[in-house]
């Protein structure tokens, strides 16, 4: 080696894994640095469950929600809701966490310098996905434990089958998050879009109720959202509720969703990221 | 060369000067509000979709042939669960908007770095909050009107009762809702974890005030807590007027309690503001964030 040359380390799979670990570790530290925010993330879903819990009581006779059972095949509406809320935490993490991941870096003024590092830019998002998945899983688990103590939560079905069903759904969701993060980066002020977008997706995919209660003209909207089948299949596995389609068909739809969303998310991210670079707005906010 | 006076001639009429300052604050706040056109979208869509989530859940609880509706009627005195939920969630949204907009108005100035310079102007400091409240009142008026109109004409929900009485109920709830907002605005000047605090305060209203359910289904200790929250009374009074057609005498007690709460919250709000103002100035933390 000549004296005036700097030897850069070779890019290997190990160096990529190292990068992923560093990014995920940084996000992990930032997240737990604000313990009150973490506490709010655990308690907030429980707060939102309370009005539904008591609403269910107003419709129940001798503790039995018979109307609900006629739709779902189960009178245990709280287990239905707690499970849906846990899944909904991931939707929220994708919209608010992943969606704002690059925008937050932009606001803190570190995006431009991160973009200059010799690592694939997509890797930055994958690193953030790992942390988001881990943190949201922990938060959801704590939430389920607390909700079980407060409201009661019973599962009679196959836990492993439901976890396996969740995997393609979550991967598809995070694939969507890649494209969405780039969109927020280009729009910069997207609070209303994110807030309403998440609320509507949650609403129409039946995070609080079986989608069969929707008026006929809204049902096609619900059935065109792949998350609807994710919620439905997981509840079907764990609570033995009536599903819209046979569970195997719903899983196949989720697999298609996963592949399409990952490809589309990466494509949109690359396109928009190039556009932001050519406009020179990476450092602006 | 012009000779500068030794004494600056400040407006002799103090009240007029204060009103002028409030007018300037209102214009500034209004420009901030309308600068982001998404506010129109929010005004039209949130009143529709937020209650919808609970309404559809209630529909699931009622069952395909509405078999559980008589149970709900026995608990609430009405079959109209849509109207019932719309009123409860509307009051929750009102308090929520006040917490975000009025409650965080000073904190936002602090984050922008303009609070300290505004604090140094020879204006009654409370005017900064009054300006926010006035703009807020206008937008919330439209918000409430849009909610009733959307559910009346898009979903054919029948609201009955005397409209003057409904306006009176909203008016007597005003001091409580905004008093809580002012107290909150003062606290976050010191505590600073504003977003988390909003979640806790609005969560309290969500759990205890019966936004979607009758208070009678709550356990005893929760019922006791709900009696100390003004939102419980405004929700109950407006539901009685619009869904059962109650007259003034039937809701008089709730309205009087609301007036009492309003007085207490306004006094708490004012003292919290002056206390935090003094504390922040003494510790020099007005400009910190």
What pLDDT, in 10s, does the model give residues B108-161? 888 778 888 888 888 888 888 898 899 989 999 999 999 999 998 888 888 888
Residue A116: its pLDDT value, please?
A: 86
- Contact (CB<8Å) A51/B54: yes
Residue B36: its pLDDT value, please?
A: 72
- Contact (CB<8Å) A67/B56: no
Place B33 in a pLDDT band, splitting at 50, 70 and 90: confident
DSSP A109: T
Place B3 in a pLDDT band, splitting at 50, 70 and 90: low
Q: Per the structure, how many domains does chain B have?
A: 1
Domain assignment present for A285:
no
- A36 interaction partners in chain B (CB closer than 8 Å): 193, 196
Give me the domain span that covers residue B163.
Answer: 15-283
Nearest CA in chain B to A50: B207
What pLDDT, in 10s, does the model give residues A160-179? 999 999 999 999 988 888 88
Domain assignment present for A74:
yes
Whether residue A96 lies within 8 A of chain B, CB to CB, comes out as no
d(CA A56, CA A63): 9
Nearest CA in chain B to A58: B72
Task: Tell me the mean pLDDT in the region B168-180.
Answer: 96
Whether residue A271 lies within 8 A of chain B, CB to CB, comes out as no
Place A2 in a pLDDT band, splitting at 50, 70 and 90: low
Give me the domain span that covers residue A239.
Answer: 13-279
d(CA B70, CA B62): 9
Residue B222: its pLDDT value, please?
A: 95
Domain assignment present for B267:
yes
Residue B118: its pLDDT value, please?
A: 87
- DSSP of B137-184, one letter per residue? HHHHHHHHHHHHHHHHHTS-----S-HHHHHHHHHHHHHHHHHHHHHH
- Contact (CB<8Å) B212/A54: yes
Whether residue A44 lies within 8 A of chain B, CB to CB, comes out as yes
Given a cut of 60, whether residue B92 has pLDDT beyond it is yes
Distance between B90 CA and the closest CA of chain A, angstroms: 14
Give me the residues paired with residue A64 across strands. Answer: A61
- Contact (CB<8Å) B60/A72: yes
Task: Tell me the mean pLDDT in the region A198-202.
Answer: 90
- Contact (CB<8Å) B61/A56: yes
d(CA A250, CA A165): 9
d(CA B283, CA B289): 13
Domain assignment present for A4:
no
Task: Tell me the mean pLDDT in the region B61-80.
Answer: 93
Q: Per the structure, how many domains does chain A have?
A: 1
Given a cut of 60, whether residue B181 has pLDDT beyond it is yes
Query: Average pLDDT over chain B, rounded to whole?
Result: 89
Task: Tell me the mean pLDDT in the region B250-254.
Answer: 96
Place B6 in a pLDDT band, splitting at 50, 70 and 90: low
What pLDDT, in 10s, does the model give residues A47-104? 999 999 999 999 998 888 999 999 988 888 999 999 999 999 988 888 887 777 777 7
Whether residue A187 lies within 8 A of chain B, CB to CB, comes out as no
Distance between A32 CA and the closest CA of chain B, angstroms: 14
Domain assignment present for B129:
yes
- Listed residue (A186, A231, A185, A243) closest to A204, CA to CA: A231
Per the CB < 8 A criterion, the answer to whether B85 and A96 are in contact is no
Domain assignment present for B4:
no
Whether residue A196 lies within 8 A of chain B, CB to CB, comes out as yes
Domain assignment present for A216:
yes
What pLDDT, in 10s, does the model give residues A96-118? 877 777 777 877 788 888 888 88
d(CA A167, CA A173): 10
Task: Tell me the mean pLDDT in the region B87-110.
Answer: 90
- Among A9-18, B247-256, B263-272, which is the least confidently predicted range? A9-18
Query: Average pLDDT over chain A, rounded to whole?
Result: 87
Domain assignment present for A49:
yes
Whether residue B213 lies within 8 A of chain A, CB to CB, comes out as yes
Domain assignment present for B234:
yes
Domain assignment present for A7:
no
ipTM of the complex: 0.86
Residue B5: its pLDDT value, please?
A: 56
Given a cut of 90, whether residue B60 has pLDDT beyond it is yes
Domain assignment present for A2:
no
- Contact (CB<8Å) A58/B41: no
What pLDDT, in 10s, does the model give residues A106-159? 777 888 888 888 888 888 888 888 888 899 999 999 999 999 999 888 888 888
């Amino acid at each position: 080696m000549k004296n005036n040359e700097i030897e850069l380390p070779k890019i290997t799979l190990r160096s990529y894994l190292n990068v992923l670990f560093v990014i995920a570790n940084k996000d992990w530290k930032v997240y737990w640095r604000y313990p009150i925010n973490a506490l709010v993330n655990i308690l907030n879903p429980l707060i939102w469950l309370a009005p539904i819990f008591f609403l269910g009581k107003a419709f129940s006779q001798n503790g039995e929600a018979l109307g609900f059972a006629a739709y779902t095949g189960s009178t245990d509406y709280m287990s239905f809701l707690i499970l849906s809320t846990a899944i909904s935490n991931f939707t929220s993490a994708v919209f608010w966490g992943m969606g704002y991941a690059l925008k937050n870096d932009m606001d803190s003024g570190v995006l431009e310098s991160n973009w200059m590092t010799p690592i694939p830019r997509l890797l930055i998002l994958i690193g953030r996905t790992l942390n988001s998945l881990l943190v949201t899983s922990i938060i959801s688990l704590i939430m389920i434990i607390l909700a079980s103590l407060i409201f009661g939560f019973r599962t009679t079905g196959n836990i492993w089958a439901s976890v396996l069903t969740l995997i393609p759904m979550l991967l598809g969701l995070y694939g969507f998050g890649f494209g969405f993060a780039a969109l927020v980066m280009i729009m910069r002020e997207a609070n209303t879009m994110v807030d309403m977008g998440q609320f509507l997706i949650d609403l129409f995919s039946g995070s609080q109720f079986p989608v069969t209660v929707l008026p006929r003209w809204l049902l096609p909207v619900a059935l065109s959202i792949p998350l609807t089948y994710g919620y439905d299949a997981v509840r079907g596995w764990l609570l033995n509720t009536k599903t819209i389609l046979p569970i195997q068909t719903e899983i196949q739809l989720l697999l298609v969703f996963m592949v399409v969303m990952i490809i589309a998310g990466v494509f949109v991210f690359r396109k928009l990221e190039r556009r932001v670079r050519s406009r020179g707005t990476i450092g602006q906010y | 060369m012009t000779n500068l006076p030794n004494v600056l001639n400040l407006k002799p009429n103090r009240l007029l000067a204060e009103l002028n300052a409030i007018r300037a604050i209102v214009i500034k706040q209004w420009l901030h509000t309308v600068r982001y056109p998404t506010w129109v979208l929010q005004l039209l869509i949130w009143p529709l979709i937020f209650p919808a989530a609970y309404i559809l859940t209630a529909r699931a609880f009622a069952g395909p042939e509405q078999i559980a509706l008589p149970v709900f009627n026995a608990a609430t005195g009405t079959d109209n669960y849509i109207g019932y939920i719309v009123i409860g969630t509307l009051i929750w949204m009102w308090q929520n908007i006040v917490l975000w907009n009025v409650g965080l108005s000073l904190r936002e100035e602090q984050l922008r770095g303009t609070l300290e310079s505004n604090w140094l102007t020879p204006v009654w400091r409370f005017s900064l909050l009054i300006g926010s409240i006035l703009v807020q009142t206008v937008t919330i008026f439209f918000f409430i009107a849009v909610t009733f109109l959307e559910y009346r004409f898009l979903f054919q929900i029948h609201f009955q009762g005397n409209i003057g009485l409904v306006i009176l109920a909203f008016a007597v709830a005003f001091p409580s809702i905004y008093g809580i907002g002012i107290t909150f605005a003062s606290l976050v000047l010191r505590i600073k974890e504003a977003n988390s605090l909003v979640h806790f305060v609005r969560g309290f209203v969500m759990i205890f005030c019966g936004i979607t359910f009758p208070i009678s289904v709550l356990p005893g200790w929760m019922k006791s807590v709900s009696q100390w929250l003004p939102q419980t009374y405004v929700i109950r009074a407006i539901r009685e007027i619009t869904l059962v057609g109650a007259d003034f005498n039937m809701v008089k007690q709730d309205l009087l309690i609301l007036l009492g709460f309003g007085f207490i919250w306004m006094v708490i709000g004012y003292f919290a503001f002056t206390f935090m103002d003094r504390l922040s100035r003494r510790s020099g933390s007005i400009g910190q964030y």
